[in-house]
C-alpha cells in the first residue's frame, strides 16, 4: 500500500500539529520514519526501517531508529506488534497511557494487522485486567488468528 504524496503529507502535517499541541516536534527524521510506516500499511521491523531510510539517503543506527519509534509510540502514532517484533502506524491517534488502548488483530501468515478502537471493548478488557490485578505491558493487546484472505487459501 502506498499513499499518494499529498495524502501522506496531509497525514504527517496533522500528526505534526498533534505533537506541537503537546509541546513536541515531528522532526524530519520522525516524519521520514512515520511516512515509511504509513506507506507500508503493515508492521515493519526496525531494521527494515533502517534499510528503507537508506534508500532516501539517510544512514541510521538501530539506536536512533528505536529512539524515534519510542517517541512515536509515546505520541500514540505507532504501535509495537510484539508477536512480529515490528511496528505499525496507528489507525487513530491516542496516547500510549490512555485507558482506551486498541486491540490488534494479527495474522501470523501474512502479518496483516488490524487495529480495533472500540472504547466499550477497551474499557471491558482493561477493566477486567485491572479487576484481576493485572496491568498491561506493551501498550496494546494482540489477538492472533488468520485473516479472511489467508483462511480462504
DSSP code for 57: T
Q: Which residue has the cell 472500540?
A: 118
> What's the pTM value of the predicted model, to 2 decimals?
0.82
Averaged pLDDT for residues 26-52: 95
Q: Does domain 5-152 have CATH number 3.40.50.970?
A: no
**Contact predicate 82/66, CB 8 Å:** no
Least confident stretch, 21-30, 82-91, 118-127: 118-127
Percent of the chain with pLDDT over 90: 56
Instruction: Give the DSSP H/E element, type plus range, for residue 68.
Output: helix 62-74
- Asked if the model's pLDDT at residue 94 lies above 60, the reply is no
With bands split at pLDDT 50, 70 and 90, how would you rate the model's confidence at 97? Answer: very low
Q: What is the pLDDT of residue 100?
A: 58
Least confident stretch, 4-8, 14-18, 69-73, 84-88: 4-8
Amino acid at each position: 500500500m502506498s499513499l499518494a504524496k499529498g495524502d501522506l503529507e496531509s497525514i504527517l502535517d496533522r500528526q505534526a500539529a498533534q505533537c506541537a499541541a503537546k509541546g513536541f516536534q515531528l522532526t524530519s527524521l520522525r516524519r521520514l520514519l512515520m511516512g515509511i510506516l504509513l506507506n507500508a500499511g503493515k508492521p515493519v521491523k526496525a531494521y527494515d526501517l533502517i534499510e528503507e531510510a537508506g534508500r532516501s539517503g539517510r544512514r541510521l543506527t538501530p539506536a536512533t531508529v528505536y529512539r524515534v519509534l519510542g517517541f512515536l509510540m509515546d505520541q500514540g502514532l505507532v504501535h509495537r506488534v510484539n508477536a512480529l517484533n515490528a511496528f505499525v502506524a496507528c489507525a487513530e491517534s491516542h496516547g500510549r497511557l490512555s485507558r482506551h488502548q486498541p486491540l490488534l488483530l494479527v495474522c501470523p501468515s501474512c502479518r496483516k494487522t488490524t487495529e480495533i478502537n472500540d472504547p466499550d471493548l477497551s474499557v471491558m478488557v482493561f477493566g477486567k485486567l485491572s479487576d484481576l490485578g493485572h496491568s498491561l505491558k506493551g501498550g496494546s493487546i494482540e489477538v492472533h488468528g488468520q485473516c479472511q484472505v489467508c483462511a480462504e487459501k
